[in-house]
Chains A and B, each alone.
Chain A
Amino acid sequence: MKKILLIALSVIVPALSFAQLQLNGAGATFPYVIYSKWFDVYKQKTGIQFNYQSIGSGGGIKQVIEGTVDFGATDGPMKDEQLAEAKAKQNTDVLHIPTVMGAVVVTYNVPELGADLKLTPDVIAGVFLGEITTWNDQRIASLNPGKDCPSKPIIVVHRSDGSGTTFIFVDYLSKVSEQWKSKVGAGTSVNWPIGLGGKGNEGVAGQVKQADGAIGYVELAYAVKNNLPYAQIKNRTGQFVKPSLESVTAAAISEAKAMSADLRVSITNAGGKNSYPISGFTWLLVYKDQKDSQKGKALVDFLHWAVTEGEQYASDLLYAPLPKEVVKKCEEKIRLISYGGKPIK
């Protein structure tokens, strides 16, 4: 009797574990918090397990190209050469599915200035290019007449590691400053003209918090959680906008109509009265032609769930949820995912 039971168990248990599907992904650190929440909730709902390693956007892109993961995640969209390389190595296109949005805020540590410093694109570019070197520079003082600007030197802090946060920030600077575009350019890692390098959002936030007179850029969530003051930035329409989930969503709404077909759009320097200019999407990278029908189906179902029901968890975790217009485009994209030539329903 025991023998039969043992044999039965040894057949059923592995079978059960086979039935529990597991998908592996890797990529950006920025959306790690909400992806963890989504994977957790989804597992309780369906039993399908998603594993995610937050190794960074560049790492995610690399693994998608090499085919070692089922999906990737990135804050900076893949370049054309990278897409071509992925296509050559994996025999399939890679789709970009936007999931949530975030903002990059300019944070500073100057007690005399208090909160809500007003800055314009030229001033930010000037500071990070090393042209504006003291806090009482005329260009800063004229924007903030009610504030007492001290004569302290500006200590610039940027990221020392490659990052999607950096990408969003320098992408914005390249759009608003010709000088920045020609001198530095955009990428996940750039040749900063000036400043100290901190590792990770934590490193930059830590250095800004410690050094009197420091200025740096971090994700909105980090600034809020660390009680750091951050600047209001003048957007394309001339309004000074405070970074918040609403102003980020506004930026996405105004850029949604002009989004390119492959959804690899940058929403920095967005039009629209209430748009926060340094906003960005974060994407999930999925193969268009799936190699495994079970995994493909699981992925498609999860993506549909994430961009519709998953968005309700975003605001509590300080991510801006996708606006309806973008969700519609996402769903169209998700319907393109196929297995064996036929789209997965």
Chain B
Amino acid sequence: MTHNESIILPHDRSLRATKREINIGDSVFKNMTKFFALLILLLIVLMTYEMVTRSSLSIEKFGWNFLLRSIWDPVREEYGALPFIYGTLVSSLLALVIALPLSIGIAVFLSELAPLWLERPMSFLVELLAGIPSIVYGLWGFFVMVPWLRSTVEPFLIKYFGSIPLFSGPPYGIGMLAAGLILSIMILPIIASISRDVLRAVPRVQREAALALGSTRWEATRVAISYSRSGIIGATILGLGRALGETMAVTMVIGNRPTISASLLEPGYTMASVLANEFTEATSQMYLSALIEIALVLFVITIIVNSFARIMVWSVTRKTE
């Protein structure tokens, strides 16, 4: 080895000299992209700093109790975020429960079962759903979906399942169920289109191997799904992220009532909705500070949910290796 190096050395120097000239462009590129990445990090740090300082009044007054109290009284300046945290988590979870099986079904259909002449326009339509603005969903939900819920779906649920606390209460139409439904429609295209791409990327070898071993179509599909598990989980995280932060569509159909109730037919309130509704009119410092603390809580919950999902993806992919 040393023998080789001593021979290469003189050439190396001249090579090194030319390499340095070529490398300036590379190093500029490297540093610029590093800068952009750091910029994002800086943005997140700045946002967190801003939110923490501006909500300091509320943090000082209420402390950790803020996350456990259920009162929201701007007149007496008593605030607590529990109903909003509950509303955000429940509506997002409900959306996921409804959307996930549907999305995977759509993804499987589009990647495996659909004939080509059908698959292209359907994929296009599914992706189109993702592009519809949130307020349009909100208006459609308020004028079309809610009356339908109020007149057909909710009386049906009350009649047959009314004894379960989950479906008790008068059929307002507006409420947690409406919010969960509209969120599920909004996150369905995200999960479906990414899952479809991931399923398509499964190497044919896997499917062919399964079929060769005598599995049915469904079993071969199951093999494909388990192969692309991490991708589907990633798609679900993206969908959940959208559901957690969704504002306009939810605020128009959820009823905007800061309560925690067991029934899905009762109104609720989410963190994003209360911010959208009350931010411009919050005149006192304490009121504003409480609202910004809710923004901070939403930010932290989003980070926690995303980190948890990342850990899940990592543990799932770890097992397959």
Contact = CB atoms under 8 A, between A and B. Distances in A.
Nearest to A197: B256
Contact of A187 (B74, B252, B256, B269): B74
Interface string A41-63: 00000000000000111110110
Main secondary structure of the interface of B (DSSP, over half): loop
Given A195-B257, A196-B257, A199-B256, A210 B173 contact: yes
Given A187-B74, A190-B73, A196-B174, A62 B283 contact: yes
A338 interface: no
Contacts of B277: 160-162, 197, 199
B281 A196 contact: no
Given A184-B75, A191-B75, A196-B267, A162 B281 contact: yes
Interface stretch (B89-97, B142-150, B205-213, B234-242): B142-150
Task: Bin the interface of chain B by size.
Answer: 20 to 34
Interface string B174-191: 100000000000000000
Nearest to A185: B75
A58 B172 contact: no
B165 interface: no
Main secondary structure of the interface of A (DSSP, over half): loop
A185 B174 contact: no
Task: Bin the interface of chain A by size.
Answer: 20 to 34
Given A191-B72, A211-B173, A162 B282 contact: yes
B267 to A, nearest CB: 5
B251 A207 contact: no
Contacts of A62: 283
Contacts of B172: 155, 196, 211
B251 A160 contact: yes
Nearest to B142: A206
Nearest to A57: B281
Contacts of B72: 191
Contacts of B75: 184-187, 189-191
Nearest to A203: B252
Interface in A134-169: 153, 155, 160-163
A62 B282 CA distance: 9
B170 interface: yes
Nearest to B171: A211
B147 to A, nearest CB: 6
Contacts of A57: 281
Contact of B280 (A82, A162, A195, A207): A162
A268 interface: no
Interface in B244-270: 251-252, 255-257, 267, 269
Given A197-B255, A197-B257, A210 B283 contact: no
A196 B278 CA distance: 15
A210 B252 CA distance: 13
A210 B139 CA distance: 13
Nearest to A161: B277
A206 B256 CA distance: 14
A121 interface: no
A57 B257 CA distance: 22
A160 B256 contact: yes
A199 B248 CA distance: 10
A161 B252 contact: no
A189 B278 contact: yes
Interface in B123-152: 142-143, 146-147, 150
B71 interface: yes
Nearest to A195: B257
A279 interface: no
A82 B287 CA distance: 14
A244 interface: no
A109 interface: no
Contacts of B174: 196, 207, 211
A188 B287 CA distance: 12
Nearest to B73: A191
Contacts of A187: 74-75
Given A153-B170, A160-B278, 11 more contacts: A58-B282, A58-B283, A188-B74, A189-B74, A189-B281, A190-B73, A196-B174, A199-B251, A199-B256, A207-B174, A210-B147
11 contacts: A58-B283, A162-B277, A187-B75, A189-B74, A190-B75, A191-B74, A192-B257, A196-B255, A197-B269, A198-B256, A199-B256
Shortest beta-carbon contacts, A-B, top 9 = A162-B281, A197-B256, A58-B281, A160-B256, A191-B73, A185-B75, A189-B74, A161-B277, A196-B255
